[in-house]
């Protein structure tokens, strides 16, 4: 595959693919009296507010760095995933719930690298790390999001590397091309390579900060891009089960220009 990001037969990144960021992101169920009451991406509400402060504080506290007035602003106070346009990232989605979740990313398509099971003790130790940080359900990950863990990943989570079982599974035959949704199974890490550029752009033909789209995905509300398109509110990634995405299993993200700015490819 000319523009493939992964090797088909080995479940690894293709030669020449350089990832800018590795993220480890946890899928977390919050239990209620009669079963799960909500499912969260990285233990974070859509709003970015700590769940424990939504009803106890006059002013809710953000679980991300920045202003607590999250809902009135589009920016880092509300968002945690801020990929650079033109970049490729590895997202390792760690499913510590009891269910499979079809995870869908807007704007982009990605390629599935592999899946790998992990020990059940990871969920126990993750909960212990959350409690040790003085956090609870819906309060965000155990550590600050941009802390780099022992796996070299951001996301604020306990490194999953020491808990992995040996061996991994390759993508199924119907998963070998570009996808916009991937099923994440319970007890597994699902690894995907995500690039913020059109699929027909060959490997090494786009770099962070280079815009290969016919519009500028970094343009936000109140801005107009190089093609006279109005800027938008950004994008989301979420579970594609309706009951889940309607019960907080959705997070916003925006593409950004790296330090030095962006350029439009001809």
Lowest mean pLDDT, pick from 34-38, 203-207, 234-238: 34-38
Mean pLDDT over 76-84 rounds to 81
Structure token digits, residue 185: 């199974």
User: What pLDDT sits at residue 61?
Assistant: 75
Q: Is the pLDDT of residue 55 over 90?
A: no
Burial tier of 233 (Cβ tally within 10 Å: 0-12, 13-18, 19+) = exposed
pLDDT at residue 40 is higher than 50: yes
Domains located in the chain, CATH noted: 21-255 (2.60.40.420)
């Amino acid at each position: 595959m000319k523009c493939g990001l992964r090797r088909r037969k080995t479940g690894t990144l293709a030669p020449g693919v350089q990832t800018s960021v590795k993220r480890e992101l946890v899928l977390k169920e919050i239990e209620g009296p009669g079963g799960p009451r909500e499912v969260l991406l990285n233990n974070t509400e859509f709003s970015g507010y700590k769940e424990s402060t939504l009803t106890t504080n006059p002013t809710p506290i953000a679980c991300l760095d920045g202003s607590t007035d999250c809902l009135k602003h589009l920016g880092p106070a509300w968002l945690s995933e801020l990929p650079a346009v033109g970049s490729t990232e590895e997202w390792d989605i760690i499913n510590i719930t009891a269910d499979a979740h079809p995870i869908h990313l807007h704007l982009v398509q990605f390629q599935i690298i592999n899946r790998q099971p992990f020990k059940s003790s990871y969920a126990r130790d993750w909960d212990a790390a959350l409690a040790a940080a003085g956090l609870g359900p819906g309060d965000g990950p155990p550590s600050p999001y941009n802390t780099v863990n022992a796996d070299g990943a951001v996301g604020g989570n306990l490194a999953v590397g020491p808990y992995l079982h040996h061996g991994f599974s390759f993508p199924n035959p119907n998963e070998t091309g570009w996808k916009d949704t991937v099923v994440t199974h319970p007890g597994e890490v699902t690894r995907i390579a995500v690039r913020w550029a059109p699929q027909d752009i060959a490997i090494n033909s786009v770099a962070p900060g280079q815009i290969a789209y016919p519009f500028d995905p970094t343009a936000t509300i109140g801005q107009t891009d190089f093609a006279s398109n109005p800027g938008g509110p950004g994008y989301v990634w979420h579970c594609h089960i309706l009951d889940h995405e309607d019960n907080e299993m959705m997070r916003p993200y925006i593409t950004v220009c790296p330090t030095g700015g962006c350029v439009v490819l001809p």
